[in-house]
Amino acid sequence: MSAETPSPTSGDRGGPLAGRLVVDLSRALAGPHAGMMLGDLGARVIKVETPGTGDDTRGWGPPFVGPEEDRQSTYFLSCNRNKESIALDLKSDDGRDTLTELLRRADVVVENFRPGVLDRLGFSTEAMLELNAGLVILSITGFGHDGPEARRSGYDQIVQGEAGLMSLTGPDPDHPQRVGVPIADLLSGMYGAYGAVAALLERERTGKGQVVRTSLLASIIGVHAFQGTRATVAGEVPQAQGNHHPSIAPYGLFTCRGGRVQISVGSEKLWATFAETFGLAADEPRFATNADRVRNREQLIGVVEDAFSAYQAEPLLRKLEEAGIPAGKVRTLDEVYAWDQVRSQGLLLDVEHALLGTIALPGPPLRFFDGAAETTPTTHAAPPLLDGDGEAIRAWLAEPAPGA
C-alpha cells in the first residue's frame, strides 16, 4: 500500500485522502463518479483507458466542445475531474505489466466490469490482493455480483425501471418517468466511494485491504426511504402522483398568477402559520391535521392555488419567506449556476483544460474545516486528455516504489 504517492503532474492538492493512490479502471459513469469523488477528497486518481478510444463517455454527445479535429464530450468532462489518464491495452503484456505496477502501489482500485471480465484478464480479486494485501477493491455492477441475474448488463434507465424508481416518478401511475440525471449510476458511485473510504479506515486497524461491492440496483433500493417502508411494512404499493408529497400536505409545486412556486408545510405549527397568512381556516375539518390534508389533497391544492392566484411568483415567495414558510422556485440550470448562493458554496469551479482553456465545472459537494479555518481543497485539475499523463506515469513507475 502507498503512504505517499506524489503526482508527477498535478502535485499534492491536500484533502483527507492526500497521499492515497486510486487506480480507476472504470468507464461510463458509476465508477468514474466514484473515482472523481475520491479525487475531490485529495487522492491521486490514475484513470486507465482503452487506447485510441478511451472511456466510452468520450464519444457520448452532442454536445461536444473544442477544436473540430479533437472534439471533447461534455459528458466526459462531468465525471473525470482531478484525474490523470494513461492508455493501456490490458490484453497486451505491456498493458498488464503496467497495470500490475500500478496495483502494487495503489490504495484503491475502482472497476465496473461485468463479473468475470477482470478474471479473464488475469486480475481476479485473489490476484490483485496477492499483489497488494492492503488494496481496497471497489467493484460496481448493474444488478449485483451474484444471484440469478448477476450477469445482466446494467444501464441506468433500465435499472431505474427495474428497481421501482420510475413507478414513483411522473405525473400519475400511467406515465412512469425516469429521473432527469442518471441517478442509479450517480448513487452507486457515491455509495461506492463511501464504502471505499470506510474500507481504508478499517485498513488502519487491520492492515488489510478488502473488496467493496455495490450495484446500480442496490443504490436505488438504498434510497427508497419512506416509499420502501410503505411497501414492506404498511403493505401499500406507492405510485407516482406528480409534484406533491405522498405523506405531507401541502407540500409540492403550486401555480400562482403567471408562475409556480414550491412550498413545504411540514408541521402543524407551520400549517397554522400558513393558514393565517393566506386567510384560510386552519381547523377546518377537511384540513385540521396532516392526515386530513393528505386524504383531501386535491381539495387542498385547489384552496391553496385559489389563495395564490392573487400573487405573482416573486411577491408570493417574499410573503412566504416573511411568514417563515419554506418555499422556493424551480430554476433552470443556467439560473442555478448564476446563483450567488451556489457560487458561495464552491459549487462552480474554474479549471484549466489542456485543450479547452478555462472551463467551468460543477464542483464537489463537501467542504472541510479544522475548527479554525476551511481546509477544503481549492485546487482542482481539469479532466485529462486521453493518455495525457501516460509518459509521466510510466516514468514514475520506473522509479523504486515507496518502501521498496
Helix H or strand E encompassing 31: helix 30-40
Side by side, the strands of the sheet bearing 108-111 are 84-87, 44-49, 21-24, 108-111, 136-141, 211-215
pLDDT tens digit sequence for 66-76: 999 999 999 99
pLDDT tens digit sequence for 89-124: 999 999 999 999 999 999 999 999 988 899 999 999
Burial 72-81 (b: 16+ CB within 10 A, else e): bbbbbbbbbb
**Model confidence at 63, in pLDDT bands (50, 70, 90)?**
very high
**What are the structural domains, with CATH classification, of the chain?**
21-223+343-397 (3.40.50.10540), 251-332 (3.30.1540.10)
Give the pLDDT score at 11: 54
pLDDT tens digit sequence for 308-359: 999 999 999 999 999 999 999 999 999 999 999 999 999 999 999 999 999 9
Cis peptide leading into residue 62 (ω within 30°): yes
Mean pLDDT of 383-398: 96
C-alpha cell of residue 376: 477544503
pLDDT tens digit sequence for 171-222: 999 999 999 999 999 999 999 999 999 999 999 999 999 999 999 999 999 9
Under 8 Å between Cβ of 309 and 256: yes
pLDDT reading at 404 higher than 70 = no
pLDDT reading at 2 higher than 50 = no
Give the pLDDT score at 15: 92
Helix axes 313-323, 268-277, angle to 10 degrees: 130
pLDDT tens digit sequence for 359-370: 999 999 999 999
pLDDT reading at 134 higher than 90 = yes
From residue 322, alpha-carbon distances to 74, 273, 315, 316, 319 in Å are 41, 11, 11, 10, 5
Under 8 Å between Cβ of 89 and 97: no
Give the pLDDT score at 281: 95
Mean pLDDT over each residue of the chain, to the nearest integer: 94
pLDDT reading at 6 higher than 60 = no
Distance CA 40, CA 392 (A): 21
pLDDT tens digit sequence for 292-321: 999 999 999 999 999 999 999 999 999 999
pLDDT tens digit sequence for 216-247: 999 999 999 999 999 999 999 999 999 999 99
- Please work out, in degrees rounded to the nearest 5, the angle formed at the alpha carbon of residue 114 by the alpha carbons of 112 and 115: 110
Percent of the chain scoring above 70 in pLDDT:
97
Give the pLDDT score at 115: 85
Give the pLDDT score at 403: 64
Q: Which residues are catalytic?
A: 185
C-alpha cell of residue 197: 473510504
Give the pLDDT score at 7: 45
Give the pLDDT score at 13: 79
**Model confidence at 51, in pLDDT bands (50, 70, 90)?**
very high
**Model confidence at 266, in pLDDT bands (50, 70, 90)?**
very high
From residue 286, alpha-carbon distances to 229, 273, 378 in Å are 26, 17, 53
**Model confidence at 146, in pLDDT bands (50, 70, 90)?**
very high
C-alpha cell of residue 187: 448513487
